[in-house]
Amino acid sequence: MLHKYRKRILLFIILAGFGLRFYSAILAPINYDEWNDLKVARKISFDLKNPNLPLIDVRENNNCPMSFYYIVKLGLYAFGDFLFGARLPFVILGTIMILLVYFFVKPVLGVRTALLSSLLLSISQFAISISRFFDLGVIVMLISALSIFLFHRALVNNNRSLLLLNGLIVGIGFWFRESMCLLIPIYIIFLLSCREYRSWLKNKYVWISFGIAFCVMLPRIYLILSPGATRIRYICNTVHTGISMGPFALYLGELVLFIFKPFPGLFNHLADTVNVDYMFTNFVVGILVFMAVIFSFKSRNNFIKLLLVCFISEFIFYSFIRSGNPDWGIFNFESFYYSIMGFIPAIILVASMVVNFFKNYKFQGSLFLLVLVIFMVIRACIFVTFPLNYFSPAKDFCIEELLNCKGRSFRFEDNMPSDIEEDILKRVYKVTGSRLVYKERSALQLAELLIQEDRIKESRKYLYYVLSQNPANRDALRLLGGQ
């Protein structure tokens, strides 16, 4: 029956994934990075008479590659020169990942695992969160997953063309983020650890593919190391060696924050290190990931072994690499966002484990799967309809930081346009109905902002709301009296 309706089920999963990402992209307030990135992307010009096609971003000290901005520009060009137009290509790329996972997993692990992998990716909070902004994360995840799938298929089918294509893809990925070069040592580790494919280390096409990757990377390496370039200095200043909780936080950070919520000092310290534009994967999936990793050590399937090597290698690497403020030390949760190359392998491992459990224990497996999907759907719906709910135990902290103008990503800079501040505050006002103290604060800030722009009539709506909650509010009375 599943095989008979697999196309309809897959279509439903894709539409659900697209809908969640689409709706979240509409609701999510603009973040500070997007505001800056829009200015860079708009300077790109495809005009033949006056082209502007830079390779690096010279505006900032980090000299980051421009590849990402070209995708933003294409979105502005194709869908309209506004925020959602820039976000839509990344919503589409996030949806393509769902389809990609199905088609590559199906011939190796079967229809059930392929459908479940796609479903888990479709309703994953973290996968939705990186697909709703125009952000580099979704591109890194997509390219790394595509490379892993192509590498495995090339080995299975003894396909030299796929090996060479994979080398090209790894090289292209380096132009988006330098960490993509980690895929090469990951593949070498896999070949060394897998007896069946160890002979491939002597195959010249494997090394030619790595050579192709290096040749594509070479211009970018030159731009990083050339005299006067600031990229290498930027990386050295922002990346530090030392034990990091980043990879662990991606999967179980939500649980850690929940455990420490009764201890405000430690909780606020941990929550303050989180990049609040993105949310952790929910802790239930996180626990299943670590269970699936342990379970997968027993597997004889070489595709599972490749996914396992990818996940473990990336997890270990980022467990000793920290970004951001070095004073936060081991409990710097901000680094979790960089640990995303192993996310899709982790999701597939979970799907494989759940399907095996279902085969052995049909009733219990069916019940578990039903509860898991319902739980994830509920959490995904809450997330997309409450765009400031980045991770449940810390939602109040995030809103507090935003309204106090201390947020790490939603900070109101002195030169930030008032329309962006207004948009953010209106969204806070809209989604904080059950948290009246935050709704009141956002209304008050909105009223003050509107009064500064001589929009007196519109400001009264928010002042009247504040006074309806607290008739003695001095700030509201002062602003109303000043009119």
Most trustworthy range by pLDDT among 36-50, 232-246, 295-309:
295-309
Q: Is 420 a residue whose pLDDT tops 60?
A: yes
In this prediction, residue 150 carries a pLDDT of 95
Q: Is 407 a residue whose pLDDT tops 50?
A: no
Query: Across residues 134-142, what is the average pLDDT?
Result: 90
403 assigned to some structural domain: yes
Burial of residue 187 (number of CB atoms within 10 Å: 0-12, 13-18, 19+): buried
d(Cα 450, Cα 181) in Å, to the nearest integer?
A: 49
1 assigned to some structural domain: no
The overall average pLDDT reported for the chain is: 84
Q: Is 390 a residue whose pLDDT tops 60?
A: no
In this prediction, residue 106 carries a pLDDT of 94
Q: Is 364 a residue whose pLDDT tops 50?
A: yes
295 assigned to some structural domain: yes
| Structural domain ending residue among the three candidates 327, 358, 385 | 385
| Structural domain ending residue among the three candidates 360, 385, 410 | 385
In this prediction, residue 155 carries a pLDDT of 94
First to last CA, the chain: 68
Residue with the two structure tokens 């976000």: 87
132 assigned to some structural domain: yes
Long-range contacts for 71-76 (Cβ within 8 Å, ≥24 apart)? 71/134, 71/139, 72/37, 72/38, 72/41, 72/134, 73/41, 73/42, 73/44, 73/46, 75/134, 76/41, 76/42
Is residue 431 located within the same domain as residue 380?
no
d(Cα 299, Cα 469) in Å, to the nearest integer?
A: 60
Q: What is the 3-state secondary structure (H, E, C) of 335-400?
A: HHHHCCCCHHHHHHHHHHHHHHHHHHCHHHHHHHHHHHHHHHHHHHHHHHHCCCCCCHHHHHHHHH
Is residue 358 located within the same domain as residue 415?
no
| Count of residues in the chain | 483
Is residue 462 located within the same domain as residue 380?
no
Q: Is 379 a residue whose pLDDT tops 60?
A: yes
In this prediction, residue 330 carries a pLDDT of 63
Range of the domain at 222: 6-385
Nearest to 18 by CA among 111, 113, 115, 123: 123
Model pLDDT for residues 268-277, shown as the tens digit of each residue:
777 777 766 6
Confidence of residue 157 (pLDDT cuts 50, 70, 90): very high
Query: Across residues 345-372, what is the average pLDDT?
Result: 92
135 assigned to some structural domain: yes
Confidence of residue 249 (pLDDT cuts 50, 70, 90): confident
Is residue 189 located within the same domain as residue 271?
yes
H or E, element range at 105 = helix 83-109
Side-chain-side CA neighbours of residue 26 (13 Å): 6
Confidence of residue 222 (pLDDT cuts 50, 70, 90): confident
CA dist list (Å): 171 to 12, 136, 166, 327: 34, 16, 9, 34
Is residue 73 located within the same domain as residue 192?
yes
Is residue 399 located within the same domain as residue 274?
no
More confident residue, 169 or 435: 169
d(Cα 451, Cα 447) in Å, to the nearest integer?
A: 6
Is residue 208 located within the same domain as residue 307?
yes
Side-chain-side CA neighbours of residue 134 (13 Å): 28
| Structural domain ending residue among the three candidates 385, 409, 438 | 385
Is residue 148 located within the same domain as residue 241?
yes
Q: What angle do CA 360, 363, 369 make, to 5 degrees?
A: 90
CA dist list (Å): 408 to 31, 70, 153, 411: 10, 26, 42, 6
Query: Across residues 371-394, what is the average pLDDT?
Result: 77
d(Cα 134, Cα 37) in Å, to the nearest integer?
A: 9
Query: What is the phi/psi pair of residue 65, to 5°?
Result: -65, 150
In this prediction, residue 351 carries a pLDDT of 96
Is residue 69 located within the same domain as residue 173?
yes
432 assigned to some structural domain: yes
More confident residue, 203 or 237: 203
- Are 480 and 467 within 8 A, CB to CB? yes
Is residue 94 located within the same domain as residue 154?
yes
Q: Is 406 a residue whose pLDDT tops 50?
A: no
In this prediction, residue 444 carries a pLDDT of 87
Name the domain count of the chain: 2
- Are 16 and 122 within 8 A, CB to CB? yes
Q: Is 408 a residue whose pLDDT tops 50?
A: no
More confident residue, 168 or 46: 168
Confidence of residue 301 (pLDDT cuts 50, 70, 90): very high
Q: Is 405 a residue whose pLDDT tops 60?
A: no
d(Cα 278, Cα 395) in Å, to the nearest integer?
A: 12
Residue with the two structure tokens 């003695």: 472
Side chain identity at 446, as an amino acid letter?
A: L
Q: Identify the DSSP state of 334.
A: G
In this prediction, residue 458 carries a pLDDT of 87
390 assigned to some structural domain: no
- Are 41 and 67 within 8 A, CB to CB? no
Is residue 33 located within the same domain as residue 14?
yes
Q: Is 480 a residue whose pLDDT tops 70?
A: yes
pLDDT-wise least confident of 145-159, 164-178, 415-429 = 415-429
d(Cα 135, Cα 424) in Å, to the nearest integer?
A: 19
Is residue 67 located within the same domain as residue 181?
yes
pTM for this model (two decimals): 0.87
Query: Across residues 243-261, what is the average pLDDT?
Result: 86
Q: Are strands 321-323 and 239-241 parallel, antiparallel or unpaired?
A: antiparallel
